């Protein structure tokens, strides 16, 4: 610590250069924090459908291809299946496309039976939902986001489904109640959810009648999940609507992977950024040491050993890189809520930022080592003579 004033003063010897170097490292770590958090969330999903007893059945060739509703009874008849419900992607938003709403048309009985113990809904509001054909149950977080109240009539715009009656993409719902996740760790998954009646959706849509997007199946014995999945798929093998059934967590991962190998893309971006940063910061440190050769020689004349001079330069590099990294990672932490809004249902964990500190230290050691070694090997007489 007693060397800190010396190191700090040395760092700010050329203020403009230090500020620009600091900013470049801050931006690199801001990017690192954001991308690392997103990558971590995608590679460790908490599962769009929670629970080890849940399976997702989709069209074998693509989730965008529908399955016949009539498959429901056949799936229910498969040994090991305790419950089946059906979902179709609505693709909704409120007022503007950026206000995404995860609107799900559901069959009330089977959906809540399959997801029992996952929701907190009052009996009165559940009853109101059952009794209102155009009714909607809305997640409490979503209510807060848009300032909705129970009793409001809200229009949602579907990106897919036009109404049979008027060809419009606008669908109107009456908010009759709210719900929350029983498990707080699932709260963010449901934060933008709105549930409405599948019946209303089926009657109202102008095309796709009799089809569903996918089935959610609950198995009675989670240890048999894979076997039950195979049985379901065997049921529809060689039919015109072959299925692919997998555990819910695997489904989430596969869905995300449709976007591409997120991890590879993010790592490639970060790799390019840090590769450039390595040279930029390394060059700055080398330049800084070159300019200070006489001063480093004077430190040696005062009795600073070769090792001490090496450590001083390394410490300077660490102070620069770690300080900038802390600022960058703090900014990325502050940006998480904004990113969360764009990645609905993806759990972004601040703990994913922690490796950033290790990266900062490694970066500091790599860029600091060459100039530190140069400083260590400095010949006092030659260095002092060069000055003059």
Partner 1 sequence: MSEAVVTLRNVVKRYTRGKQSVEVLQGLNLDIAAGEFVALMGPSGSGKTTLLNLIGGLDTATSGEISVAGQRLDQLNSGGLARWRANHVGFVFQFYNLMPMLSAQRNVELPLLLTKLSAAQRRANALAALTLVGIADRAKHKPNELSGGQAQRVAIARALVADPTLLVCDEPTGDLDRKSADDVLHLLQVLNREHGKSVVMVTHDPKAAEFASRQLHMDKGALLESGTLAA
State the nearest-atom distance from the C-beta of 381 to partner 1, in Å: 5
CB of 374 to partner 1, least distance (A): 16
| Closer by beta carbon to partner 1, 149 or else 388 | 388
Which among 136, 101, 107, 106 is positioned nearest to 345, based on CA atoms? 101
Question: Of residues 115-134, which lie at the interface with partner 1 (CB under 8 A)?
Answer: none
* Smallest distance from partner 1 to CB 333, Å: 33
Q: In whole angstroms, what is the distance from residue 237 CA to residue 226 CA?
A: 16
Chain centroid to Cα 361, Å, comes to 25
For residue 203, report the phi and psi dihedrals to the nearest 5 degrees: -70, -35
* Smallest distance from partner 1 to CB 96, Å: 53
17-28 CB burial, b ≥16 within 10 A, e <16: ebeebbebbbbb
| CB-nearer residue toward partner 1: 28 or 289 | 289
C-beta of 62 vs 301, nearer to partner 1? 301
Contact 313, 371 (CB under 8 A): yes
Q: Which is nearer to partner 1, 16 or 165 (CB)?
A: 16
17 near partner 1 (CB under 8 A): no
Shortest spacing between CB 318 and partner 1, in angstroms: 18
User: Judged by CB under 8 A, does residue 373 bind partner 1?
Assistant: no
Residue 10 touches partner 1, criterion: CB under 8 A: yes
Map residues 281-310 to x or -, x wherever contact with partner 1 holds by CB under 8 A.
-------------xx--xxxxxxxxxxx--
Signed CA dihedral, 383, 384, 387, 388: sign only: negative
Minimal distance, residue 141 CB to partner 1, in Å: 52
CA distance 144 to 139: 9
Binding mask 202-241 for partner 1 (x = CB under 8 A): ----------------------------------------
CB of 384 to partner 1, least distance (A): 7
**From 130, 144, 209, 387, residue interacting with partner 1 (rule: CB under 8 A):** 387
Cα distance between residue 190 and residue 138, in whole Å: 10
**149 and 175 in contact (C-beta within 8 Å)?**
yes
DSSP character at residue 186:
G
Contact 332, 30 (CB under 8 A): yes
Q: Which residue shows structure tokens 């040395």? A: 10
16 near partner 1 (CB under 8 A): no
Q: Which residue has the tokens 């009675």?
A: 220
Identify any residues that bridge with 84 across adjacent strands, giving them in sequence order.
217
Q: Which of residues 56-95 bind partner 1 (CB under 8 A)?
A: none
Site of interaction with partner 1 (CB under 8 A) = 2-3, 5-6, 9-10, 12-13, 294-295, 298-308, 380-381, 384, 387-388
């Amino acid at each position: 610590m007693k060397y800190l004033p010396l190191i700090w003063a040395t760092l700010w010897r050329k203020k403009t250069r230090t500020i620009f170097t600091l900013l470049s490292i801050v931006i690199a770590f801001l990017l690192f924090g954001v991308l690392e958090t997103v990558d971590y969330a995608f590679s460790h999903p908490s599962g769009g459908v929670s629970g080890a007893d849940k399976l997702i059945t989709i069209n074998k060739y693509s989730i965008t291809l529908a399955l016949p509703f009539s498959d429901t009874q056949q799936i229910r008849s498969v040994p090991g299946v305790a419950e089946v419900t059906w979902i179709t992607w609505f693709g909704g938003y409120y007022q503007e496309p950026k206000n995404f709403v995860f609107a799900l048309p559901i069959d009330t009985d089977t959906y809540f039976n399959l997801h029992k113990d996952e929701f907190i809904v009052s009996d009165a509001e559940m009853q109101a939902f059952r009794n209102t054909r155009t009714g909607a149950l809305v997640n409490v977080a979503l209510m807060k986001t848009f300032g909705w109240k129970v009793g409001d009539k809200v229009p949602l715009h579907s990106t897919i489904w036009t109404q049979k009656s008027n060809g419009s993409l606008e669908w109107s719902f009456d908010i009759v109640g709210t719900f929350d996740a029983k498990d707080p760790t699932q709260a963010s998954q449901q934060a933008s959810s709105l549930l409405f009646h599948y019946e209303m959706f089926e009657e109202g849509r102008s095309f796709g009648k009799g089809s569903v997007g996918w089935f959610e199946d609950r198995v009675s014995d989670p240890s048999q999940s894979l076997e039950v999945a195979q049985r379901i798929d065997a049921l529809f093998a060689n039919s015109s609507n072959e299925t692919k059934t997998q555990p819910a967590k695997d489904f989430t991962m596969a869905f995300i992977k449709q976007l591409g190998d997120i991890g590879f893309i993010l790592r490639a971006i970060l790799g390019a950024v840090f590769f450039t940063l390595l040279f930029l910061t390394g060059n700055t440190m080398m330049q800084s040491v070159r300019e200070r050769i006489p001063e480093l020689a004077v430190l040696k004349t005062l009795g600073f050993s070769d090792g001490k001079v090496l450590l001083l330069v390394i410490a300077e590099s660490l102070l620069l890189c770690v300080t900038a990294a802390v600022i960058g990672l703090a900014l990325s932490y502050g940006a998480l809520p904004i990113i969360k809004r764009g990645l609905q249902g993806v759990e972004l964990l601040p703990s994913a930022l922690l490796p950033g500190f290790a990266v900062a230290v490694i970066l500091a050691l790599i860029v600091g080592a060459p100039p530190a070694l140069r400083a260590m090997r400095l010949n006092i007489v030659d260095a002092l003579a060069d000055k003059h």
